[in-house]
Structure formats: C-alpha cells, structure tokens
Amino acid sequence: MNNIIVYCETNGNSVAEVSLELLTKARSLSGQLKVQVEAVIIGNDLKGLEDQLYAHGASIVHKAEDSRLEFYQTLPHTSIVVEIFRKEEPQICLFGATPVGRDLAPRIASSLKCGLTADCTSLEIGDHYEKKTDTTFKDLLYQIRPAFGGNIVATIINPGTRPQLATVREGVMKREETNPVVKGKIKNWNVSEIAKKDDFVIEIIERQIEEKRVNIKGSQIIVAGGYGVGSKENFNLLFQLADVLGAEVGGTRAAVDAGYIDHDRQIGQTGVTVRPKLYIACGISGQIQHRAGMMESSMIISINTDASAPINSIADYVIVGNFSEIVPKMIKYYKKNSK
Amino acid sequence: MKALKIIVLAKQVPDTRNVGKDAMKADGTVNRAALEAIFNPEDLNALEQALRIKDMVPGSTVTLLTMGPGRAAEVIREGMYRGADNGYLLTDRKFAGSDTLATSYAIATAVSKMEYDIVVAGRQAIDGDTAQVGPQAAEKLGIPQVTYVEEVEKVDAKGLVIKRRLDNGMERVKAPLPVLITVHSSAPDCRPRIAKNVMKFKHARTLTELQDATEDYSQMINNRPYLKINEWSVADIGADEEALGLSGSPTKVKKIENVVFKANEAMVIQANDKEIESLIVELIENHTIG
Ligand SMILES: Cc1cc2nc3c(=O)[nH]c(=O)nc-3n(C[C@H](O)[C@H](O)[C@H](O)COP(=O)(O)OP(=O)(O)OC[C@H]3O[C@@H](n4cnc5c(N)ncnc54)[C@H](O)[C@@H]3O)c2cc1C
Ligand SMILES: Nc1ncnc2c1ncn2[C@@H]1O[C@H](COP(=O)(O)O)[C@@H](O)[C@H]1O
C-alpha cells in the first residue's frame, strides 16, 4: 500500500531504458519512505520482461496483456493504469518524459484529478510547511524541473492529491541493478474487464519506427560540436576524432538547425541529456539550454576561439584556439601515445 | 460532406526563446514585463492544420479559444488575420494561478458550451513546456486524443486520417469525430496574414477593450457584429470556482531558483603541440581515454 509505481514502457522484447532508470530512482526514494517499488507493464506478449523489472528493484509487477495492445494506445492504457492506481493507491507514480509518457500521464492525471509535473530532471523527498493553514506535509515528492526555456529551476509539490505524478526526462537518472536480485511477484490484470470497447476507437493504420541509429546517451566519450564548427564538412574532423577515441559525436541546437549534424545527435534541454566520462566541446558557446544536457559530464574539455565563452566556466580544461587546428593535433598525439 | 466546426486552442506566451539579461529579477523570479508576448509557436502550427481542414471541407469554421488576461485578445486578432473566423477569450481573475489541470478544466468547460467536431491544440506552450493541457482537456471532454500530429491527411464522414511524428519514426492513425489533436512543430508553418483579413478584422475588439478605448467603437461593432471578440468569464461558462485558479490547482510551486552555474577553475591549455600532447598523455594515463 502507498508504494511507488513506475509505468514501464517496452520496446520490442525489452524494457525501455528510461523505465529502468526510473525504477532505480524509485528504489532510492522508496528506501527513504520505507515502502516498496512496483512496476506496471502493458502490452501483447510480455513474457520474461518481469525479470528485468525485478533486477531493477520492482517487488510487484502489474501485468496487463492483450492481443489488441501490441502497440501503445492512449485510451486503453489510461483505463488500465487508472484502474491499477485506484485499486493499489500508490503515493507516487513515475513515467518517462517520452512521447508515450507525455501522452499518457496527463490523461491519467486529469482522470484522477491529481497534480502532474512534466519533464522532471531531479526528484527528492522532503517536507513542506504551509503557512496559510499552519500544516506541515511530511515526505512529499519534490519534483524538480527546468522552466522558462531553462532559465529557472522550479521545485513543484502536490501536497493535497494522491498519487503524486511526474514524468521524468530520459537519461537524467542512473540505471543500476540490485544486488542480489530479489524475485518479486506478478499480478495479472484482465484487460477485457477494464478497457471498454470505446477505448479502441483510434485505429493504427501504419507504423514506421527506425531503430535508434545513434546512441550518444550510452557513450562514455562524446565529441560535441557547435555552430563554431562552421559546416557539415568541418564536422568530419570531429567524426575522425570520435573514431579514434571510440566516442560518439553530438551537437548543439545551433549546429543542428544549421544542418551541420542530424537532429538525433542534439544535446541539451530539447535534445538528449548525457553524462559521459569525457565531453569535448568544440566551437560551443555553452548557453544554459545546452549546458543543461551535459554539465554532469565527469570531465569537460572546451575548445573555443573565445577565451570568455560561458562553457569555459564549467570546463576542466580550456584550449583557446581554432578547433580545426587543435582537433587534428589531438588525433595525431592520441595515435602516437596510445596502445 | 457536412461542414465541420473546428476549435483552435491558442495561448499567448512570453517569448522564452530570446531571454535577455533583464528577464530575471534579482530575487530569481521571471520579469514577464521584459519578455515580448507572442502567439505560442506550436499553436500557429495548430492553426494551420485547422485552416487546412477548413480548406478541405468547404463551409467549415475555425474558432480560436484562448484563456488569459485581456491583452490575450491579440492572439485572436492575429488568428483572424490568418484565416480564423472568430474567437473567444476566457478571461477572469478567478482563472489566475491555474495549473494545467485547472486550465484544462476551464478550457474544456468553455469548449463544451460550443459546437465542435475537432479541437486542435499545440503540442506544448513554450512558457511551461508541459504538453499537458491538450490531453487533459480531451479527457475532460470525454473524447479521444491524437498527439504530435504532423499532418491531417484526409477528412471524411468517418473521421480523420492523421500522420503522427514520434521520436524515431511515424505513425498513421484513423480517428473518429469528435477528437482533440495536438500539433507538433514539425507540421507545416502557419500561413502568413492575409491583407484582406487584416483590413476586415483590425478593429475587432472585446467588450473590455471597447470600454478602455478612447474612440467610440461601439457604433461600429453594432453595425459589423463580426468585429466583436467574445469574452467569457467564469460565470459565463458556469464553471466551478473551486476547480479553478490556485484552489483548483493540485501542483504548487515550492521554490524557484535562477540557474547559476558554479564556476570551477579551468586549466588553460595553450594551443601548441607540446601542451596538447601532454594533455592527451595525461588523459591516457588516468584512463579517461584509451
Ligand atoms: C527553449 C530552448 C531550448 C533550447 N534547447 C537547446 C538544446 O537542447 N541544445 C542546445 O544546444 N541548444 C538549445 N537551445 C539553443 C541555445 O540557447 C543556444 O542557442 C545554442 O546552444 C548555441 O549553440 P552553439 O554554442 O553551437 O552556438 P553559438 O552560441 O553561436 O556559439 C558558437 C561558439 O563557437 C566559437 N567558435 C567560432 N569559431 C570557432 C572555431 N573556429 N574554433 C573554435 N571555436 C569557435 C565561438 O566563440 C562561440 O563560442 C535552446 C534554446 C531555447 C530557447
Ligand atoms: N491558457 C490557454 N489558452 C488556450 N490554450 C491553451 C492555454 N494553455 C494551454 N493551451 C493549449 O494547450 C497546449 C499545451 O499547453 P501546455 O500544456 O501549457 O504546454 C498549447 O499549445 C495550447 O494549444
């Protein structure tokens, strides 16, 4: 009762990375609250997926399987999740801030008349004192998110409604397996009893989903380029450096908008959030919205012609100069000194 | 086929994309006055989709609905310049402080007073970036939703064929009417103002604006009723006050912080061969690379 529930997404035959990140976070919150973590998983054939959920800390897995649920659909998923929340009465529920999570969570929140915070980048547990009513609310979920184009960070709470609902950005929480893995139990929900016929009025005619081609989120080293790189051809130099270092290439929105690099490599508030071991920023000024997606990198090297570029204030190493002269030198000396 | 009634939800927002230094007050709160108020960008994409449906089904009407302070009537005029037929401004002090749940309640209550077949919203507003109001309004209206719409490809008596933009792909769905769609920024840009419409609607006003005006517009509005922008209060839509504003908003802002990054002492490396080589050697030795 009053546990934390994570709505888990699947892609094909595995659980989505963001859902496992959320289970990991839920586990640490549940430790503070002395409750358990549960997972909800909905689809057609979910055989075996519970093992991944147990491994990340779920002690109960709510499963809803139905042949009509091969692909995500708003209405049946809303009905199922609302039913589970009504019966189980969780205190906190988390969703990935993905196209699915951001389509589903508001519909659920409206149905339950509960507060929902979008796109959180951090979650904490804390108290809140309300002066007007002289009441202290204990152990609330602090839902922390950037707002106003990233210029402010707001802490949002839902003192009066349960569950407390939040969607959380991909990549901002770390995923870790439990050790040892404790096997939980499965609770099956009967879809035909919960979902109404009207829940299936939207018909999916066609779906084309590409495998994610790049995985900058998972890369330990990132070579990123900004508008200062100047052209698509110049980005080749960054790809060469990435190649010798075993890194991935990322970019700023300005570089993406200029057509220097593909959209799926954009890092920042409206792109991916990364936390690599090493981040090499070439020709990047380091506006707030870009830093929001990379400032947790363990080490940052900035290469910029402008010694006072804002990115330099969060960098560990600053090389003042033209990237087109510096990057080839880095390649050369890496080749010379490695192995 | 029969003409359709289309409602576009549009919001006036501060332009957070061009935030200058004076946009933040010393206490860390946002100085809204320093930011230009604009038509929320994705709501313009939404308006364009609505106008395209109107082009496809002759006789259809496009009505804008916006909730905000008096000056949000600007959004309605702008929409009419681009081809919308008329608009409603939901304005009342009692709406102030509404979070997405209370906002969607107000909007859904207003929409249910109107006739509609399709409600078109933007995916998200750039002041909060929540993307919640569309789906929440759909839930309150009890109609299905289709989010991240890139194109309404077909309209017929059975409903809409819609192409949706997903993270790494697309989906094509068939939706019955009535339905609420939210339009993604990858959808076509909105058509520009039409000179004829600017001439026709430039004097369109809400009653409140008329009261404040120095010239006497009332005569003109009486003669040309299409110049009246409808204004609705909480009482006009018969909404429950408790479900609006701060009391109707389960989410509360506990704290707001200006984003300041702690500067750490960076090590400055000269761009010469010697220093670059020694940096690379250091990174190899401490296993950062290699
Ligand atoms: C709501 C919102 C969301 C946003 N989301 C994102 C986001 O997710 N990600 C993102 O990146 N941005 C985002 N932005 C945009 C962001 O504000 C900046 O505009 C963008 O990050 C700037 O990119 P840049 O550093 O590449 O370009 P610029 O700011 O133009 O900087 C170019 C830099 O290159 C340097 N330079 C030039 N020539 C050379 C050379 N030859 N060698 C070395 N250095 C050189 C210059 O000194 C300068 O510092 C967002 C903005 C808004 C309003
Ligand atoms: N005050 C408002 N008036 C009219 N439409 C709104 C309002 N707030 C939100 N919307 C609609 O809901 C969409 C999503 O807004 P948001 O949930 O704030 O990101 C917007 O793009 C608008 O279409």
Predicted ipTM of the assembly: 0.85
The pTM for the full model equals 0.84
Q: Is residue B161 part of a domain?
A: yes
Closest Cβ–Cβ partner in B101, B131, B276 for A110: B101
| Burial letters A257-275, b for 16+ CB under 10 A, else e | ebebbeebbbbbbebbbbb
Q: Chain A closest CA to B166's CA: distance in Å?
A: 7
| Residues flanking ligand 1, CB < 6 Å | A 149, 226-228, 252-255, 266-271, 283-285, 287, 289-290, 293, 303-306, 309, 322-324; B 16-17
Backbone φ and ψ of B173, nearest 5°: -130, 160
Q: Do A261 and A295 lie in a common domain?
A: yes
Is-contact B117 B93, C-beta < 8 A? no
Which domain covers residue B235, as residue numbers? Answer: 5-243
Per DSSP, the residues of B147-214 read: EEEEEEEEEETTEEEEEEEETTEEEEEEEPSSEEEEE-TTSPPPP---HHHHHHHTT-B-HHHHHH-S
**For chain A, how many structural domains are there in total?**
2
A201:B176 CB<8 A: yes
Q: How confident is the model at residue B29 (pLDDT cuts 50, 70, 90)?
A: low
In whole angstroms, give the CA distance from residue A245 to residue B55.
54
Q: How confident is the model at residue B18 (pLDDT cuts 50, 70, 90)?
A: low
Q: What is the pLDDT along chain A (339 residues), one digit of tens a residue?
A: 699 999 999 987 899 999 999 999 999 999 999 999 999 999 999 999 999 999 999 999 999 999 999 999 999 999 999 999 999 999 999 999 999 999 999 999 999 999 999 999 899 999 999 998 999 999 999 999 988 777 778 999 999 999 999 999 887 888 899 988 899 999 999 999 999 999 999 999 999 988 766 778 878 899 999 999 999 999 999 999 999 998 999 999 999 999 999 988 999 988 888 988 899 999 999 999 999 899 988 899 999 999 999 999 999 999 999 999 999 999 999 999 986
Please count the other Cβ atoms lying within 10 Å of the Cβ belonging to residue B66: 26
Q: Is residue A21 part of a domain?
A: yes
What percent of chain B stands above pLDDT 70? 93
Q: Do A23 and A157 lie in a common domain?
A: yes
Is-contact B63 B5, C-beta < 8 A? yes
Please count the other Cβ atoms lying within 10 Å of the Cβ belonging to residue A190: 12
Q: Chain A closest CA to B70's CA: distance in Å?
A: 22
User: At which of A200, A234, A256 does a domain end?
Assistant: A200
Which domain covers residue A8, as residue numbers? Answer: 4-200
Query: Which residues, in sequence order, are bridge partners of residue B146?
Result: B181
Q: Is residue B281 part of a domain?
A: no
Q: Is residue B262 part of a domain?
A: no
Q: Is residue A273 part of a domain?
A: yes
Does B268 contact chain A (CB < 8 Å)? yes
Residues contacting residue A193 through CB under 8 Å, at least 6 positions apart? none
Ligand lying closest to the C-alpha of residue A231:
1
A227 CA closest ligand 1 atom index: 26
**For chain B, how many structural domains are there in total?**
1
Q: Do A89 and A20 lie in a common domain?
A: yes
Closest Cβ–Cβ partner in A151, A277, A317 for B259: A151
Q: Is residue A206 part of a domain?
A: no
Q: Is residue B255 part of a domain?
A: no
Q: Do A231 and A285 lie in a common domain?
A: yes
Q: Specify the CATH number for the domain of residue A272.
A: 3.40.50.1220
Q: Specify the CATH number for the domain of residue B61.
A: 3.40.50.620
